[in-house]
Homo-oligomer: A and B are copies of this chain.
Amino acid sequence: MNSFTFYNPTRIMFGPGMADQVGEQVAALGSRKVLLVFGGGSIKQTGLYDRITEQLAASGIAFVELAGVDPNPRLTTVHKGIELCRSEGVELVLAVGGGSVIDAAKAIAAGVPYEGDVWDFYMRKAEVKRALPLATVLTITATGSEMNGNTVITNWKEQLKKAFGSIHTFPKLSILDPTLTFSVPANQTVYGIVDMMSHVFEQYFSLTPNTPLQERLCESILQTVIENGEAALRNPQDLDARSNLMLCGTYALNGGMISVGVQTDWASHGIEHEVSAIYDIAHAAGLAIIFPNWMKYVYQARPERFAQFAVRVWQVDPAGKSTEELALAGIEATRQYFTRIGAPATLGDLNIGEEHLERMAKETVRFGPVGSFKPLHEADVLEILRMSL
């Protein structure tokens, strides 16, 4: 394995009913005025908005609101949040929602004390030196954003979707209450499953030698997601399944705990970002399409890892099969699982044709080739996009 530094200062509080701790816990962080960031208003329908604002009031915490953060959250929304924080003297950003809401909240938290445009961080023109403290109440299991410092924002004006990560944007506290995910609709649940699995794939398919523990940690999460995903889809109020998925989602991308010392890949994420930057599709819908094609395109760089994936994660019987056959069987099992749970399989399923593929490929490699398992240049990306049509 490679040398590494690991540091994750996020406190997580997990369990049914944990959402009732928000007021007390935010007060314990020492903030008296917060920006309450949320999405399309489902938290008003479910009563979570009232539940949280009542706690804030009871704890003597004032708040201002930034509602309407969309999936693929927008730079314009982030700018609005930064202005609100500055004009209202906000001390802490409280995100209530899924990964998009939390990512927008991170951008706001980092943007408030920065004199330039927060977009600079995403374009690698500046580094985050400080941020407002951030707390989250997670309502959708998927991105792991609740326990890492990463954020992805879309600049619609420039049709760019970019990411950054910083130690300053780790939440101080994340409240993980699996009962809040009971109301997540089936399609969002599917996307969450694909998203978590994709996060693990990005860390698991690696050329780094001697990482037996890290591989097993990845496989542990994948197996547990696969087992519990369909249970949560069958019965959205299955507390066991929702709890297991929530823990898996957080562990899958909590600052790299499962992939310490491993060179990770992230090419598929890079490619998908350029698809959703143009078409505004759900991030995980794009991943479900692209990942199996990425696998087919790159597996020969280390077929043994893909064979191991087939045997350990998908329980493919290795008897009589070559490494190559096993590798392909694991990829096929992944494709079939995604399809079985209802994720799209082709760009065509989302009515996306070939017209912008070249632009996507070009933008994917804006900062150089992507990925490490097999570094992908523009032509490689284009080929994977074509395989995905």
Chain A residues in the interface with B (C-beta under 8 A): 1-18, 209-210, 212-213, 216-217, 219-221, 223-224, 227-228, 240, 243-244, 247-248, 251, 257, 260-261
A338 to B90, CA, bound (A): 58
- Is there an interface contact between A14 and B3, defined as CB atoms closer than 8 Å? yes
Contacts A213-B247, A220-B217 given; indicate if A12 touches B1 (C-beta within 8 A): no
> Is A5 within 8 A of B12, CB to CB?
yes
Interchain nearest-CB distance for A311 vs B (Å): 13
Q: Give the nearest-CB partner of A224 in chain B.
A: B213
Say how far A110's CB is from chain B's closest CB, in angstroms: 20
- Give the docked Cα–Cα distance between A260 and B10 (Å): 15
Contact in complex: B1, A260 (CB < 8 Å):
no
| Inter-chain pairs besides A4-B13, A5-B13, A213-B247, 8 sampled, C-beta below 8 Å | A1-B243, A3-B16, A5-B12, A6-B11, A7-B10, A216-B216, A216-B219, A247-B260
Query: Which residue from B220, B227, B257 sits with its C-beta under 8 Å from A220?
Result: B220
Closest B residue, CB atoms, query A257: B257
Counting chain B CB atoms within 10 Å of each CB, the highest count among A2, A209, A220 belongs to: A220
Question: Which 3 pairs between the two chains have the least Cβ-Cβ distance?
Answer: A3-B15, A216-B220, A7-B11
Residues of B within 8 A of A212 (CB): 223-224, 227-228, 244
What are 23 A-B interface contacts by the 8 Å CB criterion?
A2-B15, A3-B18, A4-B14, A5-B11, A5-B12, A6-B11, A6-B12, A6-B14, A7-B9, A7-B10, A14-B260, A14-B261, A15-B261, A210-B240, A210-B244, A212-B223, A212-B228, A213-B221, A213-B247, A216-B219, A216-B220, A243-B261, A247-B260
Which partner residue on chain B sits nearest A12 by CB separation? Answer: B6
- Do A223 and B216 have beta carbons less than 8 Å apart? yes
Q: Which residues of B contact A219 (CB under 8 A)?
A: 216, 220
Q: Which residues of B contact A261 (CB under 8 A)?
A: 14-15, 243, 247
> A215's closest neighbor in chain B, by CB?
B220
Q: How far does the Cβ of A223 sit from chain B's closest Cβ, in whole Å?
A: 7
Chain B, Cβ-Cβ closest to A247: B213
Query: Which residues on the B side are within 8 Å of A257 (C-beta)?
Result: 257
Nearest B residue to A210 via CB reads: B240
Assess the B7–A247 pair: CB atoms within 8 A: no
Chain B residues with Cβ below 8 Å from A7 are 9-12
CB-CB nearest in chain B for A216: B220
Which residue from chain B places its CB closest to the CB of A10 in the assembled complex? B7
A257 to B255, CA, bound (A): 13
Query: Which of B3, B13, B16, B224 is within 8 Å of A216, CB to CB?
Result: B224
User: A79 to chain B: closest CB distance in Å?
Assistant: 32
Residue of B nearest to A225 (CB): B213
What's the least CB distance linking A2 to chain B, in Å? Answer: 7
User: Which of A1, A2, A17 has most B Cβ within 10 Å?
Assistant: A1
A367, chain B: closest CB distance, angstroms: 26
Distance to closest chain B CB from A229 (angstroms)? 12
What's the Cα separation between A176 and B141 when bound, in Å? Answer: 33
Alpha-carbon gap, A383 to B187, bound state (A): 56
If the complex has contacts A220-B220, A257-B257, are A213 and B248 also in contact, measured as CB distance less than 8 A? yes
Measured CA separation A248–B86 after assembly (Å): 46
